[in-house]
Structures are given as C-alpha cells and as structure tokens.
Structure 1
Amino acid sequence: MTLASVRHARPEDLDRVAELAAEHAAYEKAAPPPPDLAPRLHRLLFTPATPRLRCLVAELPDTTLAGYATCAPEVSTWDATEYLHMDCLYLTATARGHGLGPLLVAAVRQEARTLGLTEIQWQTPTWNEGAIRFYDRLGATSKEKRRYSLPAG
C-alpha cells in the first residue's frame, strides 16, 4: 500500500465515499447515514461556487478507495479566527497500519494551508484508543469535551 495516493474526491467517487461513511458510522456505533448520502455530499462538495465541504480520498494503486477525510472551515469565537474542522477520517480495516492515515492527515494539513488557516481541530470517541494513539503520534493535543446534538425543530 505504500504507493497509495491522496487526492480530492471527484463526483464519480461519491458512491464509494458513501459506502465508506456507512462503514465509519458502524465502526463508531452510530446511526447509519441517510440512503441518499452520495447526492447530499455532491451538493456540499461540487454545487456551490465555494464548496462548504472538502473530501480527500486515499486511493490504492488499483484505484480502490480505501479511506477518506472530510473537512470544512469553521470559526472559533474565543480566538476570533477560522480553523479547519476535520469532521471524518476513516480507513477500512485492511488499510489501517500501512501509512495511509498520515497521508490523509498531511493532505488535510495542506488543505488548511491552502485556505490560509493555521489550525485543524477534530474529535474522536474516547473508546477509540487506536485513533487516540495515532493522533498522539502525530503530535496532536486533545481537550476533554462532550459533543452534544439537538434537533432544531
């Protein structure tokens, strides 16, 4: 897998990205994504003049997509600055441990620099010890918080 590459997702990748997102949700013991995830992602990634979401994919030499990372610019009120929020980073079970994670993170870091942003933030479940070790090895720091969600209606 050392010849794998990371690139921006293309419209024809979105069915596979949706499959990977479903695997990711199952891995994190979350509800599955909606069945129309691929067209929803298309709207966020390719329809607006300035995309709201960015998606990077890890592509193996045989063109199989083995993982993805998504990110979007966000704002920190406390710092009055923008940062890049990495919403998802996922690799298939067979792709883990082969250097693809660092490639995806490097691509997200490059995306932040391209956008003129100086920081990336993300979260991972507290039980995901493999991810925590990976992020620690990268030199990332963590803050204890809980994530909440509330329906708008």
Structure 2
Amino acid sequence: MIRTATPADVPVIHAMVRELAEYEKALDEARATEEQLREALFGERPAAFAHIAETEDGEPVGFALWFLNFSTWRGVHGIYLEDLYVRPDRRGGGHGKALLTELARICVERGYERLEWSVLDWNEPSIAFYRSLGALPQDEWTVFRLTDGALGALGAPTR
C-alpha cells in the first residue's frame, strides 16, 4: 500500500533517510534533522512531498521523497525524486515499483511530463530495476554540485 506521508511519519522517514545514506556509503553527509524534514514536508510552505510504502499490517517499509522541478523545454512541471528507499529485508516485494507508479500517476494526472532521479553509478541492482520499468539513463549529462566552502565562497557578498 502506498499513501501520502503525514507529520507522524517524520521519525520513520528520517530513520530511512539515514539507512539510505549508510547504504550509499555517505552517512556522515546525512545531516538533516527530523525538524528540518518536518518543516520541508509540512511547514507553512512545503518544499517537498513524501509517500510511504506499507505492508498490509501498516508497517512502513519504504518511502519516496520528491519535489517539483520545471522544464523550460517542455513548459511544464515535472517531479524530481530525491530519495527512493525500501528497507533491504522488504526489497523484491513490489514496494519500490508501487512508489514509482504512484509518482508516475501524479505526473499523468497533473500533466507533468517528466519523472527524474539520480542513481549512483555503482548501484547496479537499482539501475537494472529502473531499466526494467523503461527508465533511460541520461548519459550525456553530468551532475554538478556546490556545497560547503565552495558554495559559501561563490555566494559571499561582494563589496
């Protein structure tokens, strides 16, 4: 079962974010707090949205956290999937596909023309899964990121 996350889900989403960061060998980079997630998802101006995958007895086993992007070429919004995670002992049960199906449904329903996400190059099981759904890698694009000192240096006020 897939459902829209509620504020009561923030602790489990936070825990799964940390589990995902550990799986991706980057736990030290996962600094978001529960309060930050609560504000981003349920604050006065939500910046992101989340869905929860549950077992039949209501146990949360995965989540998708996403936000809107915009394509100047298509002229409409799309969804950028920031995180998709299913707990290891629950993989293979259709939860990941159900989460992606829900996001695709939202895209179709709202007229969004893209559902995009990134995957680590070494994550072959996920890459194979995404390809099985018809997703195509965007090999001609390279992701760039500014953080920490480089971001501060570039964004520092000039005199």
What TM-score, normalized to structure 2? 0.84
Q: Greater Rg, structure 1 or structure 2?
A: 2
Structure showing greater relative contact order (alpha-carbon pairs closer than 8 Å, 6 or more residues apart): 1
| Residues paired across the two proteins, number | 147
- 1:116 paired residue among 108, 111, 114: 111
* Structure 1 residue 43, shift from structure 2 partner: 1.0
How far, CA to CA, are the matches of 1:68 and 1:6 in structure 2? 9
Greater shift, 120-129 or 68-77, is seen at 68-77
Tell me the secondary structure at the aligned position of residue 141 of structure 1: coil
> In the alignment, residue 64 of structure 2 is paired with which amino acid?
A
- 1:39 paired residue among 28, 35, 38: 35
Calculate the aligned-residue CA RMSD, in Å.
Answer: 1.6
Aligned partner of 2:145 in structure 1 is 149
Residue 65 of structure 2 is aligned to residue 70 of structure 1: yes
* Structure 1 residue 45, shift from structure 2 partner: 1.3
* Structure 1 residue 32, shift from structure 2 partner: 4.2
> In the alignment, residue 25 of structure 2 is paired with which amino acid?
K
Tell me the secondary structure at the aligned position of residue 137 of structure 2: coil
Residue 3 of structure 2 is aligned to residue 7 of structure 1: yes
Cα deviation, 1:6-26, whole Å, max 9, x if unaligned, reads 101111111011000000011
Native 8 Å contact 1:73 1:83 kept in 2? yes
How far, CA to CA, are the matches of 1:123 and 1:141 in structure 2? 11
What TM-score, normalized to structure 1? 0.87
Q: Percent identity?
A: 29
Aligned pairs for 1:27-106 (under 5 A) are: 27-30=23-26, 31-34=28-31, 36=33, 38-49=34-45, 51-106=46-101
Unaligned 5+ segments in structure 1 are none
Cα deviation, 1:77-121, whole Å, max 9, x if unaligned, reads 344432111111110101111111110111111222344312101
Native 8 Å contact 2:74 2:113 kept in 1? no
How far, CA to CA, are the matches of 1:7 and 1:35 in structure 2? 23
Cα deviation, 1:119-144, whole Å, max 9, x if unaligned, reads 10111001111111110110111112
Native 8 Å contact 1:22 1:32 kept in 2? no
Native 8 Å contact 2:52 2:62 kept in 1? yes
Higher helix share: 2
